[in-house]
Amino acid sequence: MSTTLVNPEVEAPRETTGGGGDFSDSGSGDGGDRGGDREQRYSPYETGAWVLMVPVAMLFMGLTSAMIVRKGVSDDWISIRMPNILYFNTVLLLGSSLALEFARRSLKQAEIESLKVWLGLTSFSGIVFLAGQLFAWRQLAAQGVFVATNPSSSFFYVLTGTHGAHLFGGITALIYLTIRVFRDELNNRRQSALRAAAVYWHFMDALWIYLFLLLNIWR
């Protein structure tokens, strides 16, 4: 099935069709066109992503401050050894951001087949990353290191778990959009949602790099 992806950067005439392969907005007539123009100028999805990132960043700033203060005033802090798989996970997450950038470029250039490949690869990398985080927890548990073992292990589990929970939200969004792309159902609104998901994903990637360095320095 041949599908034409609307390039959101270029104004193009709209056609009204009933097939699932039409990637134009669902609105019709002048009202639909004006709605599409407004969506190109302003994306509520991207705005929502930026708004969401503010409390997430504040949350991790608070946890960081608590970790630094707790280590500074305690005499029961026992540093834990970082599981080696976290190094692999870090590289994997960086690669997923690169794949997502290729997906965004494919979207901009209206290359639907390439978009499917890169978007699917990003979603798969996110799932593998979470699986790797769980494996790291299992490694620590096998060594007798649990949440309540000591303050260092407590912060490790809290920080990595909180990051994983927020990353899971991004994976859910990417999987949904990936399914829509493979079904040729990526209209302008979902293209906007995909760009918003990319912003959030890069933020989670940068946040993990920060946590990875923090846990290595302050563990």
In this structure, what CATH number is given to the domain that contains residue 119? 1.20.120.80
Query: For residue 82, is it within any domain?
Result: yes
Query: For residue 21, is it within any domain?
Result: no
Q: What residues make up the domain containing 124?
A: 43-218
CA dihedral in degrees (168, 171, 173, 177; nearest 10)? -170
Query: For residue 160, is it within any domain?
Result: yes
Ramachandran angles phi, psi of 155, nearest 5°: -70, -35
- Total domains in the fold of the chain: 1
Ramachandran angles phi, psi of 8, nearest 5°: -70, -15
Whole-number pLDDT of residue 75: 84
* pLDDT values of the chain reduced to their tens digit, one per residue, 219 residues: 444 454 444 444 443 333 344 444 443 344 444 444 444 556 898 899 999 999 999 999 999 999 999 998 888 898 888 999 999 999 999 999 999 999 999 998 989 999 999 999 999 999 999 999 999 999 999 999 999 999 999 999 999 999 999 999 999 999 999 999 999 888 888 889 999 999 999 999 999 999 999 998 876
Query: For residue 29, is it within any domain?
Result: no
Alpha carbon of residue 85 to chain centroid: 20
Whole-number pLDDT of residue 42: 66
How many residues comprise the chain? 219
Query: For residue 212, is it within any domain?
Result: yes
Whole-number pLDDT of residue 97: 96
Query: For residue 28, is it within any domain?
Result: no
Query: For residue 3, is it within any domain?
Result: no
Query: For residue 206, is it within any domain?
Result: yes
